[in-house]
Structure 1
Amino acid sequence: MIYTVEKWIKEKAFGCQTCGQCILTHTKLICPMNCPKGLRNGPCGGTLDGKCEVIPEIECVWTRIEKKKTQKQDGIHLPPDPKLLNTASYVNFVNGKDRKTRLPQDFVDTSEIPASSRLARKMYRGEFVVTLEIASPLTAKGLNRVDKIMERVADHVDAVNTTTNAGGIPSLSSMETAEVVQAYQVESIIQFCGRDHHADDFLRELEKAIGSGHKNFLLLTGDWLPQKDRKVDQQSWFPMDSSQMIHFANTRLEDFQQRLGVAPYLGCAANPFSTPMPISVERLHFKRQAGARFCQTQAITHVPTFQEWYKQLRAGRENEPKLTIPSIPLVGSRRAFEVLCRLPGVYVDESLRRIMESEDFQRKALDWAFEIAEGVTEHGAAGVHTMNFGMPPHLIDEFLLQIRDRARQARLRSLNTVT
């Protein structure tokens, strides 16, 4: 009876999704479970112009919440307990069943534990780092392609992101691809998506990866699966968001260090083009409080936007290490360019669009990528993450061979400007 009455009232008043562990008092009476992904800690990186990544016709629920908030969130909401779904939240509140998932949990400060990877040491020393993205192939046969790429690039990159299930299309796991990377004495950055894992499963996989010699991890919420209907209901909610994954991994950091001898280097993603910009900045600060040590951005196609975003991000933190790696797209195919334009949360500047309409677009797109990379470096980037969108191998190699020298010159220009 209580559940029926509560459901009727709260559906009318708040669009309640009956999670049974209500956090309306923390979200300005706007139900966050109306996010199609079911995110309980803030917007995903696919939010552009304040619109929902999954259903662009509606306003992002978390953008609405953040606009109304007057103070920062001082803890993290854990994933909803599935046993409490479709039960009376008032009853769960009285008997305390919802306490762990209703109340924000304290962040765990592990800043005194140094990360174990070479990538971490380089970034904390202020060295310019270059990372490369290699998508895990669909089958084991495709690992030959990964091997051929590593033969060319191993001497020119500090780490390789081995992505998995790109675009929601099932592929080999990030760790299978990383084994090929490891064979070339290059560190991998293993990717996990909250979309694909429950907490216990994620922690088991994380420990397995650490035991296999991997030390860098990029923890993402994940894009919408293409085969799923774009709607809001309990079946569409992701098991975790990126902040929750980071938090769970961070709470185990000391344990991993003591038992396995490794403190993993935990990374997150951010989108400088997500608007309103202050919400994007605050979202990254939140992930860092949860335990993220470095950040990789969405594809950067407009330097002034990155400059303003990074300026806001660094305000009051000017003397801290620079740990943000912007993604630079190398676009060498018009078909791949169309893919880039369709990626959730990616803003594609007109300067690149004009290049892709020209005759010699590959060479022009490479020169454009150099300009973007130098521009973000002048404004404080810790390095660059290289993403290939159909660029021929010899032009990718040219980028990797030259980018460190160009970045060195960009940093010198930045110092001369300051002085």
Structure 2
Amino acid sequence: MAPNTTFTNNREVESRYDEYVMSVWKDLDVPVERAEGCTLEDFDGNEYLDLFSGISVANVGHNNPAVVEATRDQLEEFVHGCSYVHPNAPVAELAERIAEITPGDLEKSFFCNSGTEAVEGAIKLARKHTGNTEVVALEMAFHGRTLGSLALTGNEAYKKEMAPTINDVAHAPAPYAYRCSSCDGECTTACADRIEHVIGTHTSGDLAAIVVEPVMGEGGIVVPPEGWLERVQEVAHDHGGLLIADEVQSGYGRTGELFAVEHFDVEPDIVTQAKGIANGLPLGAFTAPREIADSFESGDHLSTFGGNPVACAAALATIDELEGGIVDDAREQGEWLSDRLGALESSFDVVGETRGLGLMQGIELVDPDEKGPLGVAAAPDDHLAKAVSKRLREEGIVIGVGGYYGNILRFQPPLTITRNQLERAVESLEAALEAEVETNA
């Protein structure tokens, strides 16, 4: 890799960001000059173990050699010819490959540039196919930041002063057992039945789709109980709508399966994809069975840069890498990590719950002396989450912080992370928690 010649230290690049880049997220302020595998290096020469992988993007590791080679090879052929005007091999091959790896009868894909675009395109397709307009999403869900996808997102923090533009959206409770006021910690399919109640009370019965993340990411790494997703699909079909599984964050090996829906007995009607699909190159997709996909007629949906051949070449190499053993490793590593993180619940009162699948794990930090919202569980402690994250960063470890209440530490490393790296991460997390507990005692 050619060395950077523009900036000599972190402060130089940070000052340019402050002056010229809009809406910068400050919580993970680690400037990156280069990255490889699970390691980031800043402009001052400091190295960090990356437990966040660019919000679940670098699934097969930063600067993966196979992905880099495939990208370089395609760059030498051609970069752009508008994939919806000029058919080309990378797009054709990737579409066929996605049909092979996605669950059920999902067969035809539309390529775009991001998860947000994939979600909005999936909604358009559901509306066109069903002839209906209304959509049900979940409270605390995250589906994107453009005005259409923002309407589906169930969190005020993302919507303030933004006035989302899809009006026909209703929100139903998420299967968040730890903070469910009616489940007493044992979330069941009854939460899915409440979606039917929302359809009956908040819509006109003109249902096009129910949109859910099989494992909620921004909402706090929330894993639904057995039978919940199956019941949601049943409700959608009973009311004439489709089930859209938003796999933007949970897909491409993140949960120890290629797609998170494979943990459940469900074949969704549409699946949205992005993030890990091309290991960092901008690419999104939504995939549906032929009879649904063919509801789109020529010109109904288009994207100038969607299906960029360079990004599609990267995606093909990413899938090869995932199927070469990385997904299996993620499953095994995730089981180990789940056990280690679960032990924190008995060791620290401030750890309310740990949960997740594969290498998509969350640690819910709480104030054990205060009751949480609606008098359920202990109060969320977002200040502790930020303090622990800061301590870890000072020790050379980057971890995500999120969740509806901002109190979830998010373990979402590249799936290539080693056991030794995970050991270091968990031991450092334990030390950071101990230090914060002692400081606040």
Greater RCO (Cα-Cα under 8 Å, separation 6 or more)? 2
When the two structures are superposed, what TM-score results if normalisation uses the length of structure 1?
0.31
When the two structures are superposed, what TM-score results if normalisation uses the length of structure 2?
0.29
